[in-house]
A = this chain, B = another copy of it.
Amino acid sequence: MLQSQLFTKTRREDPKDEVAKNAKLLIRGGFIAKSLAGVYVLLPLGLRVLDKISQIIREEMNKIGGQELRLATLQDPAVWQASGRWSDEVVDNWFKTKLKNDTELGLGFTHEEPLAKLMIDHIQSYRDLPVYVYQIQTKFRNEVRAKSGILRGREFLMKDLYSFNVDQAGLDTFYEKAKVAYRRVFDRVGIGAQTFLTFASGGTFSKYSHEFQAICSAGEDIIYLSRDKEIAINDEVYRPEVLAELGLDEKELSKETAIEVGNIFKLGTKYAEALGLTYVNEAGERVSVVMGSYGLGVTRLFGTIAELCGTDTGINWPDNVAPFAIHLIMLGNDEVVTTKAKTIYEELSAKNIEVLFDDRVAGAGEKFGDADLIGIPHRLVISVKTLANNSVEWFNRGVGKTELVALDEVLNRAVNI
């Protein structure tokens, strides 16, 4: 893409109405814009990052047998009354609205109930199981405060997968697969090293649920981490008997602040029973389907990457989620430089390499400042000076290394990033 065509402007100053690092950096780089507290617009650069994260998640969910669908935002009270979650006293973050005839509706904050109801039409026999479905969909949560940028929004993108099995053993097996898939997602988006499986409260459903917590000072959670064993315990269940059960000694644990980027839950038959989702087993008996629920905050992941990969000058995006692979910058308005830069841009684009080409008439300071804010992993500069060496200056932002690369090597190197 030609940067001269990109309509968004970067900002040199932090926005005054933001306290969170992720929001400050993402707004300064032109990735997002604030609509309301906790409600953000995805600008073209931000949408590109979010789409890449979503696609990675989609691929990993498909690999474990997930089928993608999209449930509705507008929620029928009946299905939530069936499970007891319609009341604002039970669920304190509903957004509610009304039809013209005064019927109340909710805006979906999760989807166990409507999905259990939907499945009644599709699951009759044990032969119809297991089923794994997921969506990547906008959720609405009426948060009292929203000061964490896109880490805790009132409107945000979430991946929610739900499993439907014949029994607990089936659920247990899938649950372990889901853990592996989550692990792969965090590795691929570039925060694998900072993200740990964490034992948390299972609520009324099971002994534990599991969270994926990314160590980060912007987090709202406290966890106790064993780096050796690569597991952690959420503060909420940090008790001697839990330590004993997990074979952990408190001496090997460090207390950390972390962002909950995902959590997975064994639901058992609670929602199936509430909504009447049953199947006929091999013995001919009608029994309840066993469910699990697997959440992953897509927008929150976006914000977490910004927190973890952000510096004072911008965000060093991991390769797999960067808005572009290469930022090609031409300096000055020398005709040979311009022509050569355009040629490189066209050659790279022809190989389907995603390039943001800074073809603007602007000074080096502005161009470099913008490049830092946008944070594309590979910055290629072409100028009279680099051309004198028949080269471009290639800066690998991730490793912090700059070198001259011969013009006739650029394409080959770019396709092998």
Contact = CB atoms under 8 A, between A and B. Distances in A.
Nearest to A38: B74
Interface in A1-37: 5-9, 33, 35-36
Contacts of A91: none
Given A33-B121, A99-B142, A7 B128 contact: yes
A64 interface: no
Interface in A29-71: 33, 35-36, 39-44, 46-47, 65, 67-71
A117 to B, nearest CB: 9
**Residue in A5, A97, A142, A143 whose Cβ sees the most chain B Cβ within 10 Å:** A97
B105 A36 contact: yes
A140 B35 contact: no
A238 interface: no
Of the four ranges (under 10, 10 to 19, 20 to 34, 35 or more), the interface on chain A belongs to 35 or more
A94 to B, nearest CB: 9
A35 B72 contact: yes
Contacts of A46: 69
Interface of A is mostly: mixed
Nearest to A70: B42
A7 B122 contact: yes
Contacts of A107: 97, 107
A353 B47 CA distance: 28
A74 B154 contact: yes
A251 interface: no
A96 B367 CA distance: 43
B71 A41 contact: yes
A67 B1 CA distance: 10
Nearest to A360: B127
Contacts of A72: 35-36, 39-41, 155
Given A47-B68, A73-B138, 19 more contacts: A5-B65, A7-B119, A7-B131, A35-B71, A36-B105, A39-B72, A40-B72, A41-B70, A41-B114, A41-B118, A44-B133, A46-B69, A72-B155, A73-B73, A73-B140, A95-B98, A96-B98, A97-B107, A100-B143
Question: 5 tightest CB-CB pairs across the interface, nearest first?
Answer: A42-B70, A7-B131, A35-B72, A97-B97, A95-B97
